[in-house]
Amino acid sequence: MEGRKPPNRRYSAYRYENLKMKPKQSKAREILWLVVSAMSLSSAVHKTIYVSLKDSWYFYLFTIIAFAVYLIRRNLRKKEE
């Protein structure tokens, strides 16, 4: 075993096979981003009601970003299936 070189993993098929998304993990990440988006939206509405829109706009921005990530992940998963 001393004379053998380790396999070149940079271009191996094994490595590219492991880069594929796993369906259960992908679905869990989608749900996570959807929950993050919903929680951020509820925080934004709460802060808007009790403080002002001027102080809560970044919650709405984060809601949009989290929902966009959810949609991107969902489309990627659908393409893999």
Q: What is the pLDDT of residue 71?
A: 96
Per-10-residue mean pLDDT of the chain, 81 residues long, equals 58 57 84 97 97 94 98 91 76
Domain boundaries, given as residue ranges, for the chain: 22-80
Residue 59 vs residues 16, 24, 33, 38: alpha-carbon distances, Å: 37, 29, 14, 11
What's the token pair of residue 75?
């489309």
pTM over 0.75: no
- CA–CA separation, 63 and 74 (whole Å): 16
